Structure 1
Amino acid sequence: MSSRALQWLSLVGIIWLQSINGTSFNFPSYSSQFKHQLSMSQLQLNNLAFASDAGKLFGFVSGFAANSLPLWLVLVIGSSLGLVGYGVQYLFIINKLHDPSYWVIFLLTVLAGNSICWINTVCYIVAIRNFKAHRHVAVGISTSYQGLSAKIYTDIVESMFSKRSSKRTETFLLLNSVLPLGVSVLVSPFVRVHVVEEQGGLEIGVFLIFMITIATGVFAVFTSLGSISTKLSPLTGLVGILVFLLLPLAVAVAENVKRKTEQPEKQRDAVEAAMEEIGAKEMLKRMNFWLHFGVYFFGATLGLVFLNNLGQIAESRRSSGVSSLVSLSASFGFFGRLAPSLLDHFFPGKLMKSKPGWMVALLGAMCGGFFLLLWPTDMSLCTSTAIIAGCTGAITSIAVSVTTELFGADNFSINHNLVVANIPLGSFLFGSLAGFLYRMQVPAGAGKCIGVECYRAVFFIWGCLCLVGTLLALVLFARTRSFYSTKRRMVEDSPPLHVLPLSIVS
């Protein structure tokens, strides 16, 4: 098989990995049942959402491992951590293990959350190193599929059990434990760094992958809408998603079987020429790092906390469509992660002139989403969920590019894990705040709060915190204007990628 085909096959592999790696995103789908079955309080449940994110505190370990171990081994280690973390919880739920301590469940959730970092690290490394001239495209496309994880898991469970079945929780936990390991073993032979000397001539393949990815997202969104999802069986949605996940294989196969009648010129990455390689210690001394850290903290992290609490928020509003909301958030998160790379690829240096500038706009939209939640209607809940999920996904995707462009690609596996280490901190602070304010609204003698007042103060405070993130993004935008101006000039001045016939080259 040609190195070019292996290059595309590695992209297919990380797409599959990311599509099942968002195990924490399906927590809202079973959190209420999980809380009931293990007799937890709302605060304890909120702390479990924090525990999943707390695993990212040790994400840098996966970065060091990826620099020292084969990537297939990093994949197996990461997915095995998830097998233990979710698998033991599954045994507790089905009463194979008895009387679980809350702190045992907490530590198992931390372990499961850390497993996501290992798989993410492998996916980022493969995307950045195998597609040097198109790293933003490879990262954006692959990470967008992680936004579909919640929908994929939900469709699997709902195709097996009704929405009120008591077996939903144990099925989610079982899938969370075995599916990432199974897919990791399946793709480990070709998810590795391939030596591909020519980075040009990828435009057709990139275009086809984009079209497949967009079609996948459109299908996911339409099958998540209440008016349509009620008419289609979950099995139909699941089969459709699986078919779309198989389509990228066609690009890899085409690259392998087509005749080599063209010889592309090497393409120089303008960003690579402009960016500086910075190690973790030096990065921690830079003001731009802390601004980037703060923007992510008050943006993507805050959005993730909202999505982690989506099940409880929907329950407080007497919404019966929790699964539909989770699928809706997954679908818009998918497009949010994809949109930056789509714009950057097809309109280089025009629409995406400055990534911190886009973060300003996205954080502003998130503020509007939080304030819109103050209205007590199902439409405001659905609209805000779509806005917050989409913006969270976009900031998550853009942050990967910002880390690479401002601090270099050589130490990315460690540097970006330090950036996302703010997720557990934000999850604890924002989640605890939400739990505290929620409990204040619970009537005396009642076990839970029902009504829009339950989270009204939470949404107002979260919206204000989002404004703080917007201001930090403005400062980062001002500080990096010269860098992105230089990058834009290099993109505009670089010659177009020519594809020369072999007869001329020879």
Structure 2
Amino acid sequence: MAEEALAAVTGFLHKLLTGRWLMLFASLIIMAMNGSGYMFGLYSNHIKSVFGYDQSTLNLISFFKDLGANLGVVSGLLYEVAPPWLVLSVGAILNFFGYFMLWLAVSGRTAAPGLRLMCVYMSVAANSLSFGNTAALVTCLRNFPLHRGCLLGLLKGYIGLSGAIMTQLYHAMYGEDNPEGLILMIAWLPSAISLASLPFIRLINSNNNQRNDLKPFYNLLYISLALAASLLAIIIPQTKTHFSKTDYIAVASPIVLFLLLPLAVVVNQELTLHNHPPPITSILVQSPSPQLTTMSRSSNWYKNIFTGRPMLGDDHTILQAILSVDMAILFVVTTCGVGGALTVVDNVAQIGASLDYPTRSISSFVSLMSIWNFLGRVMAGYVSEFLLIKYRLPRPLMLTFVILLSCIGHIMIAFGVPNSLYFASIITGFCLGAQLPLTATIISDLFGLKHYSTLYNVGSVSSPVGSYIFNVRLAGRIYDREGERQRNFGFGYFGA
């Protein structure tokens, strides 16, 4: 009996460690540490003062951050030919190199780099995010093909929440006002998490049977909402009172517990599958259609880029998707929507300073954006799935509503109503978060999953394009011109 019990426990542990649910948990932790790009506002002013940059120069560095974070075509193509663990390893190396070199420069341990080199450091560091996103997100999507919208909302939600999570961890480790410590932390912590997750991020045989059960995904959603609520409960007092390092450690402890709580869902789900295995039926996964297979074997494959195109929803080739009217429309829409929101995110410190908000409030704006970014992501994923199934409401229409809502946040910032930046931060964070999973899911709905790792990253290129247009070419120049005008009239250079 003892040997049988030991064998049963050993068998269960083997299934747990090699199963898709622990892989999902590891992906959630990677995503929770993979949103350092949203923390630029916490240390951007320090970079500006150390190197004497004006706002246009700082926005140029911010643009290269957005460019690196969203220029994930390389990671997508690498995923096409390499295992997920290799993609994740490359991301960990790039993350540490980029931020560590940035930390050496800002802390004065190396000679001050030129602007081009600073842009390279920031671009490399931010580009590492695309490798982690691709490895975790695409692997999850292929291992759980029945729950596409929920998965994208949940995983991208944790990315949106990562800014607030890492802000609390930063305060617990380095205190309240240590931007150099923040840069060092985002150099080593996400890289360490990615390397520790290498054994778990892998494709699992899709012929294995799965239960078409949404309950565990809703349980994970409830945990993530509780995590967001706890962060919000922590942030509000931090805007009103001074916290010591001990206080920050105390409030960071429940955050860590909430991050580990999905393990309970993972163990429970594996126990259920172990005790009550599903019936032996093949899983529904998208595979290349006969039409696509015939086209790929044709010697004149390039003729099928514009003719003989698969139906929407079937697997497209990379060129068929990229050169389609649908991708062009989606690209333009997200360029405008995400570009405008990223401009607010990257300039929130300067906006807050120009409107005379205290430094502690500016830190809160970053956390508020992160939390509502998370809520936008998970709601876009779960709600879009519900509305699509029950009411046949198309996701592109939902994307339109979200972009219209974001215009309200921009208008509130433009008019500068007292305390309106709190509400504008909430609206901007929510709308930015909602646009990302909606766009990613629309791409999978339109063009299939066969080349999703590449097409997902192609769609993400719209973010840096929008950031360059609205942030560098528009906002940065207007900011500097207005600052020069006020300085000439004796008002001082606002937000400097």
Q: CA shift at 1:267, angstroms?
A: 5.8
Answer yes or no: is 1:431 the counterpart of 2:460: no
1-structure distance, mates of 2:477, 2:173: 36
> Which position in structure 1 is the counterpart of 2:218?
207
Q: CA shift at 1:92, angstroms?
A: 1.4
Q: CA shift at 1:87, angstroms?
A: 0.5
Q: What is the SS of the residue equivalent to 2:135?
A: helix
CA contact (8 A) 1:11 1:138 kept: no
* Structure-2 change in CA distance of 1:127 and 1:204 (3 Å): same
2-structure distance, mates of 1:294, 1:436: 23
Letter in 2 for 1:169: P
> Which position in structure 2 is the counterpart of 1:467?
none
> Which position in structure 1 is the counterpart of 2:321?
283
Answer yes or no: is 1:257 the counterpart of 2:295: no
- Out of 283-292 and 262-271, give the one that drifted further: 262-271
> Which position in structure 2 is the counterpart of 1:240?
254
CA contact (8 A) 2:339 2:469 kept: no
> Which position in structure 1 is the counterpart of 2:346?
308
2-structure distance, mates of 1:60, 1:140: 21
> Which position in structure 2 is the counterpart of 1:189?
199
Tell me the alpha carbon deviations over residues 31-90 of structure 1, each in whole angstroms, 9 at most, x when there is no partner: 111211122121111111001112146411111111111211111111111111110111
Letter in 1 for 2:266: A
Answer yes or no: is 1:356 the counterpart of 2:371: no
Tell me the alpha carbon deviations over residues 402-450 of structure 1, each in whole angstroms, 9 at most, x when there is no partner: 0100111111111121111122222222112111111121123579643
Q: What is the SS of the residue equivalent to 1:40?
A: coil
* Structure-2 change in CA distance of 1:208 and 1:56 (3 Å): closer
Across the two proteins, how many residue pairs are aligned to each other? 449
> Which position in structure 2 is the counterpart of 1:100?
113
Tell me the alpha carbon deviations over residues 205-246 of structure 1, each in whole angstroms, 9 at most, x when there is no partner: 222112112211222223233577748743333222211110
Gaps of 5+ in 2: 1-13, 290-311
Pick from 164, 167, 184 the counterpart of residue 174 of structure 1.
Answer: 184
CA contact (8 A) 2:103 2:184 kept: yes
Pick from 4, 18, 31 the counterpart of residue 18 of structure 1.
Answer: 31
1-structure distance, mates of 2:251, 2:35: 18
Identical counterparts, % of pairs: 25
Give the superposed CA RMSD. Answer: 2.5
- Equivalent positions of 1:68-83 (< 5 A) are 68-83=81-96
CA contact (8 A) 1:13 1:187 kept: yes
Letter in 1 for 2:271: V
* Structure-2 change in CA distance of 1:367 and 1:51 (3 Å): same
1-structure distance, mates of 2:392, 2:348: 31
> Which position in structure 2 is the counterpart of 1:458?
none
2-structure distance, mates of 1:292, 1:48: 26
TM-score normalised according to structure 1 size: 0.83
> Which position in structure 2 is the counterpart of 1:482?
none
* Structure-2 change in CA distance of 1:378 and 1:234 (3 Å): farther
- Out of 284-293 and 267-276, give the one that drifted further: 267-276
1-structure distance, mates of 2:398, 2:493: 37
- Equivalent positions of 1:422-461 (< 5 A) are 422-432=462-472, 433-442=474-483, 443-444=486-487, 449-450=493-494
* Structure-2 change in CA distance of 1:288 and 1:348 (3 Å): closer
Pick from 332, 336, 342 the counterpart of residue 298 of structure 1.
Answer: 336
- Equivalent positions of 1:481-500 (< 5 A) are none
Q: What is the SS of the residue equivalent to 2:494?
A: coil
1-structure distance, mates of 2:373, 2:62: 19
Letter in 1 for 2:213: L
1-structure distance, mates of 2:392, 2:419: 31
* Structure-2 change in CA distance of 1:207 and 1:422 (3 Å): closer
CA contact (8 A) 1:132 1:199 kept: no
Tell me the alpha carbon deviations over residues 428-485 of structure 1, each in whole angstroms, 9 at most, x when there is no partner: 221121111111211235796439xx9xxxxxxxxxxxxxxxxxxxxxxxxxxxxxxx
* Structure-2 change in CA distance of 1:361 and 1:353 (3 Å): same
2-structure distance, mates of 1:17, 1:53: 19
Letter in 2 for 1:435: G
1-structure distance, mates of 2:380, 2:171: 32
Q: What is the SS of the residue equivalent to 2:202?
A: coil
* Structure-2 change in CA distance of 1:262 and 1:76 (3 Å): closer
TM-score normalised according to structure 2 size: 0.85
- Out of 378-387 and 263-272, give the one that drifted further: 263-272
* Structure-2 change in CA distance of 1:79 and 1:405 (3 Å): same
Letter in 2 for 1:309: N
> Which position in structure 2 is the counterpart of 1:46?
59
Answer yes or no: is 1:150 the counterpart of 2:155: no
1-structure distance, mates of 2:461, 2:356: 34
Q: What is the SS of the residue equivalent to 2:278?
A: strand
* Structure-2 change in CA distance of 1:172 and 1:352 (3 Å): farther
1-structure distance, mates of 2:288, 2:395: 16
* Structure-2 change in CA distance of 1:289 and 1:84 (3 Å): same
1-structure distance, mates of 2:142, 2:366: 33
Letter in 2 for 1:261: H
2-structure distance, mates of 1:347, 1:288: 22
2-structure distance, mates of 1:237, 1:378: 30
Pick from 317, 320, 327 the counterpart of residue 355 of structure 2.
Answer: 317
Q: What is the SS of the residue equivalent to 2:146?
A: helix
Pick from 359, 362, 370 the counterpart of residue 330 of structure 1.
Answer: 370
Letter in 2 for 1:377: V
- Out of 14-23 and 267-276, give the one that drifted further: 267-276
Pick from 386, 395, 398 the counterpart of residue 426 of structure 2.
Answer: 386
CA contact (8 A) 2:210 2:278 kept: no
Letter in 1 for 2:380: P
1-structure distance, mates of 2:238, 2:108: 38
> Which position in structure 2 is the counterpart of 1:477?
none
CA contact (8 A) 2:67 2:464 kept: yes
1-structure distance, mates of 2:481, 2:216: 55
* Structure-2 change in CA distance of 1:447 and 1:268 (3 Å): farther
CA contact (8 A) 2:149 2:382 kept: no
- Out of 343-352 and 264-273, give the one that drifted further: 264-273
* Structure-2 change in CA distance of 1:99 and 1:343 (3 Å): closer
1-structure distance, mates of 2:418, 2:366: 14
- Equivalent positions of 1:48-63 (< 5 A) are 48-56=61-69, 58-63=71-76
Q: What is the SS of the residue equivalent to 1:337?
A: helix
CA contact (8 A) 2:440 2:456 kept: yes
CA contact (8 A) 2:374 2:430 kept: yes
2-structure distance, mates of 1:157, 1:284: 40
